Every structure is written in structure tokens, then in C-alpha cells.
Structure 1
Amino acid sequence: MLRTPADSQQTEWSDPAAHHARLGELPSEPAAIADALEEFVIHHAVARQIGFPVPAYAEDDRSLRRSALLLDTLLQRDARPLSIHRDLPDYLYVTCRDFALLAITALRAQGIPARLRAGFASYFAKGHWEDHYICEYRRDGQWAVLDAQLGRRARDGMRVPFDVANVPSSGWRSAPSVWRTVRTGEIDATTCGLTYADIKGEWWIASSVIRDAATLAGIECLPWDNWGPTIGFRETRSLTPEQAQDIDALAQALDPAPPDRHAAQAVLAQFPWAAPPQDAFGAV
């Protein structure tokens, strides 16, 4: 009997639950999924940039951990098919992680291996590597990067020069890759973080490496989740030389990335200090 690839199986976070059938309303091609998501999902910071404040009732959208809850919320606001454009008041107001998670849910529903990755993109702010979650999926036997936040309007507005369903390494790099290039001096740590929140530096990249270890293992955390050493990183905005060496070892084990979820879980087991506690995340 052939085994189903681990990364084509839904996790407790990506499982659409009662909305599985409705995923058939979305297109099947990865880039087209990004176009479809743009019709009912918006980044909360982008909404503010275009002069549309996040409605009070939508402030908690970006804290919804599960695709099922994201879809619940969306369909309560507008129950029409997912192929139909919504008005902005009926959108979901989320983060890049949620765009990626919904794309992962849609791809896994088709049997396509897909996984969440934490990393940094060079195309949002010139001269900066912006903290950015993407969907990685199997394409022609290899992992390819889909930026599900770059629908047609976003691509046109930003004049994106690449295929958003196959983002090159010059555009997006995983957190372990960025950490390793920072340590060799190829990338300046002060150019990596969240420019709009004035968050940057090695401590943030180190936290992202730990979050990427979790996402690769199928623990699809939120961008601000903290556990273990990341709690100290957040409090001091620094890490000790010994902690940096620990991140060196973890990043080396994750770059290049493990081939699948099971291999990533085995890597995380080798670094128990980086694994989130079983009760780290609630139901929302």
C-alpha cells in the first residue's frame, strides 16, 4: 500500500473541518489560489495603508489559529461561494501566515504536499528582509515557494517580476537560511524584521528559526507565538553567545530543509529546547 505523503495531510491547524467541500470553490492552480484569496482576505497592515481601518469586529481575525475558524468567520460575514469577491467590510483581516495557511489547506485538500514556512522577503521594503510566512508546496518533485499574499492586484501594484508560485531565493529565504547568512556577514541583521513595527535584529531572526522548526514539523504557529528561549529573546531583544551557537546548530539542521514533516519532526526531537510545549497553543 502506498503511503500518503505526510505534508499532504491536514494538521489540526489546517483542517477545514466542516468546510472541506467548500474548498472546491477555489481554483486548483497555486497562483490562482493567491488571486482567489485576494478577493476575501487582506493583511491588516495593508488595510490601514490603503486607508481602511480594521473594523472592530475583525480585530481578532489575525489571532485565529485554524483554517476552520478563519473560514467560519468569513462565511458568517458573507456565505456566498469562495470564488466571489467580497466588499471590504466582509473580508478577513489577517497576516501573511493566514494567507499561507489557507493556501496550504486548499492544496492539501487536493492531495498536494504543502507546508508553512517562516522566513523573510526582500520585495516589500527596499533594502530590507521583511518577516514573511509563505506556503511551500511540491512542484515537479521539488519544494517551491508560493506567496499566497501576492494576488493579481498586489502583483500589479508592486510590479512583481517573478512567478508568485515559484518565488526565487532572491525574493524569499527561510529563517534558517537568513540566520546562516547573517552569521557569515552576507546579510545585515538590522535589515531583517518588521519595518512597520520597528522590530529587527538577530534576536528576531533566531525566534523565527525556532518558529520555522515548528512549522516544518506541522505545528503551524502564529508569527508572535513564543516559547522556550524565544520568551527571553523577546524580553531582552538579544541572545547570548551560547544561545547563538544553539541557533547555529538548529539552522544548519534546517537549511536545507528536511524533505517532509516526519523528517522535520525527527530534527525537532534532536533539539527539545526548540519544541513548543504540547499545550502551548489554544483552540482559537
Structure 2
Amino acid sequence: MDPGSADGEHTWWSDPGAHRLRLSELPAHPVAIADNLEEFVIHHAVARQIGFGVPVAAEGDRSLRRVSLLLGEVVRRDARPLSVHRAIENYLYVTCRDFALLAVSALRERGVPARLRAGFASYFNPGYWEDHYVCEHSFDGEWAVLDAQLGPRARAGFRIAFDVADVPSTGWRSAASAWRAVRSGELDPGIVGLASAGIAGEWWIAASILRDAAALAGSECLPWDDWGLSISFRDARRVSPKQARDIDALAEALDPAPRNRQEAEAVLARFPWAAPPDGAFDAL
């Protein structure tokens, strides 16, 4: 693969804005970024699982779309350098998408090609492919998967033995890859989704493909953003035969993934029904 120069440049979503200097407090190495994020970021569901819960003031954290807003909130709660461990009440309470986007932003700030990806991981819930966002980064001219949520405590808790900056395909697969595996009969759609919410199936995977396509093209949406066909998938919780054929064609164009943002934009130009509406998130 040949990651393009655009993937080393910020999007509206990843730009740290007024907090650019604070972002430089994060380390440069991908694994070290994951390690550092664990000092001030926690998944909101994990906070509940460990019995701490989510502070009322942090309930909106997982809806902050932009890195500039995420960094602004963590600095407001504790103005010390991002390399310093926070008290848990001063953490950001977010989703996997935000861990991944913060890593994407930290890498892009150093000119390293990086991009947000939507897909599914097998290492959180044995026997299940759990909805999960990751950061892809350029490594020796190839794309490698960094799971920025797997800091040292998470690695120990989930008994992670692989390099979290180079997650193998047996551990994470893109939404398009999961769809094609389901359609070929290799993968049961009943074990692909969001187990904690009791959600699984082709409709969820199909909606994730649209979000992954958008992210590859530089629109790094929230996990619950829906448009076009994904609204239909959410409402009906099914994929019609015609819709499935359309998703088949899009998934084929995304698996293997486009080499860079420019190629991803070309894919969406071929499938305009898959692209987020112009200006849909500009004011958010």
C-alpha cells in the first residue's frame, strides 16, 4: 500500500485547533500513544463495569465530535500535561471511536499518515466480533492497525498477546471484510455486532460499512451517525435483497481498503448514496 499525503493531514474532526501544543505532549510511538491515552481516557462502558460509573458532567463526552473539543474538555478538568495521570473523575468518558480518533490526531500532527476505521474485534468477547473502531497508521509504507484503547491495563485485563500497533486480521476486521465473510457463509452474522446492546446481524454490519467508507474519505463520524441507507437499516433492522446487492458492490470496493484518502473519496464518488450529505456535520 502507499498511504497518501492527505492521510497525514488533519480533517475537521482530527484537528486539535487551539490545543495543538497540548496534543504534542502525547508520545510519538503508536504503542506509547495507547499507553498514554489510558492515563486520561476511559470507555464509558468500562467505567460502569468497574463500578465507578460515569460522572454526570461527563455524560456528553462520547458525543464530542472533534479532537479540539475532546482535548478542551480534558484540559478544562485538569490543566496538567496530557502525559500526567489524572484522577478518574477527571478522565474523558468516551467510546472506542474517540480513543482511535485521538491516536489518529496525534499521528497526523507529526505528519504520519493515519486514519479512523470502523469494524469488528474478536478479542473483547470470545466467540463474538464486537463493534470496534481502530486507528490505521503507516508502518514501513503499509497500513497497520493500532488499537488505541489497549493501554497496559486493558492489555492485561484482556490478556492481549499481540502487538497492539499491528493488530492481526484474526483480531480485527473491517466492516466490509465482515460483510463479505457473512455473504460467503464464512461468518455467522449473529455473532457480529454490539453484544452489550443485544445488537447483531447484517443490518448492523451494513451500516458500519457506510461509516467506515466515510471515515476513509475523511468524515470521521460518531458510531451512531446515520444517513441514507443506514437510516433504513436502523429502522427496519434488516437489509433488503436490493440493498444487499448495493452493499455487496460497496464492500468489494472497500475490501481491500483504498490505499489513501484520495482513493476513498473516489469510491464514494462511485457510490454517492453511501456518502454523508454535504454539510451534515459542519455546524456540530
Structure-1 residue corresponding to 2:142: 142
**Are residue 240 (structure 1) and residue 277 (structure 2) matched?**
no
Aligned counterparts of 1:167 and 1:30: Cα–Cα separation in 2: 12
Aligned counterparts of 1:101 and 1:276: Cα–Cα separation in 2: 18
Aligned counterparts of 1:61 and 1:145: Cα–Cα separation in 2: 25
Pairing of 1:28-43 with structure 2 (within 5 A): 28-43=28-43
Aligned counterparts of 1:171 and 1:8: Cα–Cα separation in 2: 25
Show structure 1 runs of 5+ residues with no match.
Answer: none
Aligned counterparts of 2:263 and 2:221: Cα–Cα separation in 1: 18
Aligned counterparts of 2:117 and 2:283: Cα–Cα separation in 1: 21
Is contact 1:227–1:280 with CA below 8 Å preserved after alignment? no
Structure-2 residue corresponding to 1:280: 280
Q: CA deviation at 1:59?
A: 0.5
Structure-1 residue corresponding to 2:118: 118
TM-score, normalising length: structure 1: 0.98
Which residue identity does 1:167 align to in structure 2?
A: V
2:185 aligned counterpart, secondary structure: coil
Structure-1 residue corresponding to 2:223: 223
Aligned counterparts of 2:26 and 2:209: Cα–Cα separation in 1: 32
Is contact 1:115–1:215 with CA below 8 Å preserved after alignment? yes
Structure-2 residue corresponding to 1:5: 5
Is contact 1:14–1:105 with CA below 8 Å preserved after alignment? yes
Cα deviation, 1:62-106, whole Å, max 9, x if unaligned, reads: 000000000000000001000000011000000000000000000
Show structure 2 runs of 5+ residues with no match.
Answer: none
TM-score, normalising length: structure 2: 0.98
Pairing of 1:1-284 with structure 2 (within 5 A): 5-281=5-281, 283-284=283-284
Q: CA deviation at 1:279?
A: 2.6
1:138 aligned counterpart, secondary structure: strand
Which residue identity does 1:54 align to in structure 2?
A: V
Aligned counterparts of 1:271 and 1:6: Cα–Cα separation in 2: 21
Aligned counterparts of 1:283 and 1:163: Cα–Cα separation in 2: 38
Task: Tell me the number of residue pairs that the alignment of Structure 1 and Structure 2 aligns.
Answer: 281
Is contact 1:26–1:82 with CA below 8 Å preserved after alignment? yes
1:25 aligned counterpart, secondary structure: coil
Aligned counterparts of 1:51 and 1:230: Cα–Cα separation in 2: 34
Aligned counterparts of 1:124 and 1:166: Cα–Cα separation in 2: 17
Aligned counterparts of 2:62 and 2:282: Cα–Cα separation in 1: 14
Aligned counterparts of 1:180 and 1:215: Cα–Cα separation in 2: 19
Aligned counterparts of 1:71 and 1:188: Cα–Cα separation in 2: 39
Q: CA deviation at 1:282?
A: 5.0
Is contact 1:137–1:146 with CA below 8 Å preserved after alignment? yes
Which residue identity does 1:119 align to in structure 2?
A: G
Aligned counterparts of 2:186 and 2:199: Cα–Cα separation in 1: 20
Aligned counterparts of 2:262 and 2:228: Cα–Cα separation in 1: 22
2:115 aligned counterpart, secondary structure: strand
Aligned counterparts of 1:6 and 1:280: Cα–Cα separation in 2: 22
